[in-house]
Amino acid sequence: MKKELLIAVQVETNRAHGRSMLEGIADYALAHTDWRLESVEPKSLTDSANLKRFDGFIVRVMDNATAKALMKSGKPVIDTYGRMDSGSIPFIRLDDKAIAEIAAECFLEHNFKRFAFCGFPGLRFSEARGAAFREVVERSGGVCEVYDGHPGKLKETFVRNERMDSCSDVAALRKWAKSLPRPIAVFCCNDMRAFHFLKACADVGIDVPKEVAVLGVDNDKVLCTFSNPPLSSIDTDSFSLGKTAARLLDGMLRGRGTPPASTLHKPRSVTERTSTESYPTETPWMSDALVYIRRHISEGISANDVIAHLGYSHTTVGKVFRKELGTSVQQEIIRCRRESACRLLKDTNMTAAQIADECGYPSPQYFAHMFAEHFGTTPEKWRRLNTMPQKERKL
């Protein structure tokens, strides 16, 4: 009988990101290993006597003392925090640059010219996302405001204690929100920060999304749906991150060598809800038209439906679309339908026929024809190319 291996797991469980990661770790362990998983507290990771009980670790290495104790144990370790840069413990973490790029692309596609970042000043994951977001925005010719009003120096454990019903810098958030030029797109470092920022906007009478569009990170369904309005968020696919962490540790335990020093896990895409349903345009009703198209894309709408909804003539609507977007109403519908189909191909296991129906194509055959006409390949081949297993990427 094979020996059961005891694996210590330490991941924060008060956020969707951590819970999804735990699910991924457990899913891999059940399918591929003879592990017994044990949840441990951060403080136990510096207890050398306690560490001897375990055969391996998937943990957040938050400080030098923890790193030293784990290295001294001589057991295989995968760090899911990835901020210590010790070089001795292999880590996997979210790709903050890729997250920021998705946020910037979302807002740029929504036609925003003003941008802001709201994070936790001094916390490394927040600083990394803010710097990358600012870089993309400035490269596109935009300007990015940055929130820096949090009182005191924050510790890396601070985020664990933030709750929906309390915000330590609410007064500063309200003041900053009022100071922002509008319309503006605000990227928040995670969903909890976005939840509190939305509350601050409501407190001072700012209309979201009409005046301020807000985007979070983690796609925490509780936070996103409890937010007012419902919060758009970047899906980080933390389940797959957990599975990858477990796979890397499994390889070490089986003697396949040490994995790369750093593995960056790419996010999926934006799950759009009401907080980003805004498209700043010269003509006020254009924003309404673009929101209408995206809300009804699955219904097989045509240009006539959009024009009827707006209540203006074909000529007037066509002229404004060409002036502001450089395209026709029907071409914008086609683009949005294609964009929605690509997202579903990448982020779900839906069949091409199901995606055709979900995106408002009249038939799977028509979907395949339109897709091939634009991309030069079939939806199935495009999916395989764009959803290959994540490669290990060195910093």
Structure confidence by residue, pLDDT tens digits, 75-105: 999 999 987 766 689 999 999 999 999 999 9
The reply to whether 158 falls in a domain is yes
Same domain assignment for residues 15 and 72: yes
- Tell me: do 203 and 223 sit in the same domain: yes
Task: For 338-394, write each residue's pLDDT tens digit.
Answer: 999 998 998 888 999 999 999 999 999 999 999 999 999 999 999 998 875 544 333
Residues 164 and 199 in one domain: yes
Query: Do residues 243 and 175 share a domain?
Result: no
Q: Find, among 62, 61, 55, 19, the residue nearest to 37 by Cα.
A: 55
d(Cα 97, Cα 158) in Å, to the nearest integer? Answer: 22
- Identify whether residues 103 and 228 lie together within a single domain: yes
Whether residue 140 lies inside any domain: the answer is yes
Domain end among 227, 248, 276: 276
225 and 256, same structural domain?
A: no
Helix (H, G, I), strand (E, B) or coil at 39: strand
Examine residue 86 and state whether it is found in any structural domain, yes or no. Answer: yes
With respect to residue 2, please indicate whether it lies within any of the assigned structural domains. Answer: no
DSSP string, 152-206: SPPPTTHHHH-BTTB-TTHHHHHHHHHHS-SSEEEEESSHHHHHHHHHHHHHTT-
Domain boundary among 276, 301, 325: 276
Let me know if residue 333 belongs to a domain.
Answer: yes
- Do 62 and 127 share a domain, yes or no? no
| Inside any domain, residue 195 | yes
Among residues 14, 10, 13, 11, the alpha carbon closest in space to that of 162 is found at 14
Asked if residue 299 and residue 364 are part of one domain, the reply reads yes
Q: Are residues 294 and 333 in the same domain?
A: yes
Domain span at 342? 284-385
SS (H, E, C) 333-379: HHHHHHHHHHHHHHHCCCCHHHHHHHCCCCCHHHHHHHHHHHHCCCH
Task: Kindly give the parts of the chain with pLDDT less than 70.
Answer: 1-2, 85-87, 151-162, 388-395
Clarify whether residues 166 and 223 are in a common domain. Answer: yes
- Do 274 and 306 touch, CB atoms closer than 8 A? no
Q: What is the CATH number of the domain that holds 362?
A: 1.10.10.60
Q: Is there a single domain that holds both residue 242 and residue 223?
A: no
- What is residue 165's predicted lDDT score, i.e. its pLDDT? 75
CATH of the domain at 214: 3.40.50.2300
Q: Where are the beta strands (DSSP E) in 241-343?
A: 262-265, 270-271
Residue 181 lies in a domain: yes
The number of distinct structural domains making up the chain is 3
Residues 226 and 308 in one domain: no
276, 295, 328 - which closes a domain: 276
Helix (H, G, I), strand (E, B) or coil at 82: coil
In a domain, 124, yes or no: yes
